[in-house]
Each structure stands twice: as structure tokens, then as C-alpha cells.
Amino acid sequence: MATNAVLTLDDLDTWRFEGTCLAVLGHPIKHSISPAMHTAALADMARLDPRFSNWKYVKFDVPPEHLPQALDRLHAKGFFGLNLTVPHKVLAFSRVGCIDPAALPIGAVNTLRREPLGWKGFNTDGYGLCMAVRETLNIELAGSHVILVGAGGAARGAAVECLQKNCRSLWIGNRSTENLDRLLADLRGLSGSIPVHGFSTGSTPLGIPSGALLINATSAGLRPDDPLPIPLTVLPKPAGVYDMIYNPAETPLLRTARSLQIPASNGLSMLVHQGVRALEIWSEASVPVGAMREAAMKAMAW
Ligand code: NDP
């Protein structure tokens, strides 16, 4: 089966596979490059350890209303690991029996591992972000002032990671105050002595220090006519801009940052590193980052 084939739950009626099966579930899922990344990494791992030669990673289109039955049916069919993408990360959090303690404060899971009676949920997005900003911008979350834009699922993972890594301060901006206030309330017990400030991206935030790391965790930039998630010129000059969006490769935010000579990176590196961590959780083996990165870049035709 081609790594790009899109399966549906109907395909499980006749599903037969003797090896270890992994899948990503999303809706839509057609454009997911996770199968290409994982298949490349597994091929590389199989050269050292033949046990991985019968591991397979496929993608399923699962609408949100079908997620509960999808989780049950994939478990019954013997699937070993699942990745979850839009819109399932928060939905699955309340559907799995056991959650990795590190994912509890996030309230969302993107990686499930088979347990005898159900699934155990993990969240590898924060790890992916931390590795990605280190790799692409040479910035550590630990000790950094961070301006995080967004208050959805990805922003939740990023905010918890920043606090757990001991960032110096965290400034969270969002379009709607409702989602922002909910996130700020959820972070209250986690922040300890780290200052956490909220602001509306419609107003000029006061007190942000220069030299911060700016992270875009909104979907603004996915479409060419989207507005900037935050007008860069109202901020003191950041040390770097990380946009979680990787398709398109250059969002208006990244273009603006580069025109101001601010180091900037898109989100492909985060996608790669969250995938590496997921495969480490399933395989309990060392995962080749280079093979995954190369496959991701090839799949995006960069
Ligand atoms: P959610 O739908 O949970 O959250 C969307 C966020 O974007 C909210 O804060 C929303 O604000 C904001 N938003 C949406 N449209 C606009 C707009 N036009 N202007 C300003 N703000 C806007 O999505 P996720 O958190 O799951 O994903 C966010 C982004 O991160 C996506 O682009 C996704 O592709 C990317 N991502 C990348 C990953 C990677 O590995 N590189 C991993 C995970 C996500 P409001 O609350 O006001 O609605």
C-alpha cells in the first residue's frame, strides 16, 4: 500500500497485517506527511534491527464524531500506536484510559500507545517545539522571555513546555479573550514564580522585553490573505520568530521577520521532532532524526 493512501474506518472490515501497525488519524488528513516521515525512519531503523522491517504507518480520515469508535476498532484490530492531528488532540484526551503525567496539564494528546485494555496518551508537541527552536534558531526555552501567540491546542502544549523548561517570562497573546482567559486560568497552578501575562493581539502589549522568542501557534498564515497573527512592529525586536505553520513554507509573519533581519523558522522542524519522539515512545529505540527530516523535506518538495 502506498504511504500516501488515505484509509477510512470501512477499510478495517477487511484489514489484515501481521506486523506492527501505526497510524495517524485526522480530518482532513490527505496532506499529512507523517506516513512518509515514519516510513523513512522505520526503513532506516530496520537496517540495524530487523524487527522494524514489519512495522507499517498509514493514515486514516476520521471525522471527530467517529473518533470514539475509531479508537475502539483500531485497538481491536491490534494497532500498536496512533498519532492524532486536527481536530482530535483535545477530544482524545478525555477518551483514553491512561494519560502520561507530563500531558495532564496540557489537556491534549497527539500520541497513543497500545496498552492491554486501551490506549495510553502522550503529548510530544512541546518536546518537538523545544528541539526545533534549539535546532533552527539556536534558542533555548529555558531562561528565555517567550511571546506565545495563540490559545488553542498547539499553544497549550507550547505554554506548558515553556513553563516546565523554566522560561524567564511568558507573554500569551490571542485574538479572542475567552480562549486566552481559559488558558491563563489553566496555567495558574504551573507557573510557580515565572511571570505569565496575557494580552489581546488587537491591542499594543506593554512591558514585553526586547530579545524575546516569538512563537506563532495560531492558524493565521495558513492562507495567503490571512492577517499577521501579531503586528511585529508593535513589539520590541525579538531574538527570533518561530512559526509552527510549515505549509506554506514562508508565512507573511516569517517574511516580515526576515525583512527586519530577525532570525526566523517555519514549523517543519517541530513536526519532525514531535514525530521522532512519538516513534521513540512506540519503538523504545533510537530514531534517526535525519531520515525523518529528509523525508519531510522531500514530501514537501523543498
Ligand atoms: P486550534 O484550532 O486549536 O487553535 C487555533 C488558534 O489560532 C487560536 O488561538 C485562534 O484564536 C487562532 N486563530 C485562528 N485563526 C486566526 C486568525 N485569522 N487570526 C488570528 N488568530 C487566529 O489549532 P491548533 O492549536 O491545533 O493549531 C494552530 C497552528 O499550529 C496550526 O496552524 C497548526 O497547523 C500548527 N501546528 C503545527 C505543529 C507542528 O508540528 N509544526 C503541531 C501542532 C500545530 P481564537 O482563540 O481567537 O479562535
Write out pLDDT tens, residues 218-271: 999 998 889 999 999 889 999 999 999 999 999 999 999 999 999 999 999 999
Average pLDDT (170-184) is: 96
Q: Are 149 and 140 in contact (CB under 8 A)?
A: no
Q: Please state the domain extents for the chain.
A: 6-123+269-299, 126-266
In the structure grid, which three cell numbers stand for residue 129, read together? 517545539
- Cα–Cα distance, 172 to 201 (Å, whole number): 9
**Fold match between 6-123+269-299 and 126-266?**
yes
| Atom of ligand 1 lying closest to residue 86 CA | 26
Q: How far is CA 278 from CA 47, 151, 254, in A?
A: 20, 23, 27
Regarding the beta carbon of 154 and ligand 1, being less than 6 Å apart is answered yes
Inter-residue contact 245 to 218 (CB < 8 Å) = no
Q: How far is CA 188 from CA 76, 191, 199, 214, in A?
A: 39, 6, 16, 21
* Prediction pTM value: 0.96
In which residue are the cell numbers 484526551 written?
93
Please give the single-letter amino acid code of residue 205: P
Average of pLDDT values for 176-196? 95
Counting from 1 in the atom list of ligand 1, the atom nearest the Cα of 179 is 46
CATH tag, 126-266: 3.40.50.720
- Taking residue 258's Cβ as centre, other Cβ atoms within 10 Å add up to 13
Report residue 10 as a C-alpha cell. 470501512
Q: Positive or negative, the Cα torsion across 287, 288, 290, 296?
A: negative
Atom of ligand 1 nearest to the CA of 154: 25
Q: Find the mean pLDDT for residues 110-127.
A: 97
| CATH for 6-123+269-299, options being 3.20.20.150, 3.40.190.10, 3.40.640.10, 3.40.50.10860 | 3.40.50.10860
CA angle 74, 79, 82 (to 5 degrees): 85
For the chain, give the percent of residues with pLDDT over 70: 99
The answer, yes or no, to whether residue 201 has pLDDT greater than 70, is: yes
Any atom of ligand 1 within 6 Å of the Cβ of 296? no
pLDDT at 3 over 70: no
Nearest CA to ligand 1 atom 32: 219
Q: Is 89 considered catalytic here? A: yes
CA–centroid distance, 90 to ligand 1, in Å, is: 13
Three-state secondary structure call for residue 56: strand
Q: Which of 59, 77, 89, 165 is catalytic?
A: 89
Q: Which residue has the cell 532506516?
A: 44
pLDDT in tens, 26-72: 999 999 999 999 999 999 999 999 999 999 999 999 999 999 999 99
The rounded mean pLDDT for the chain is 95
Residue 170 phi, psi dihedral angles, 5° rounding: -130, 125
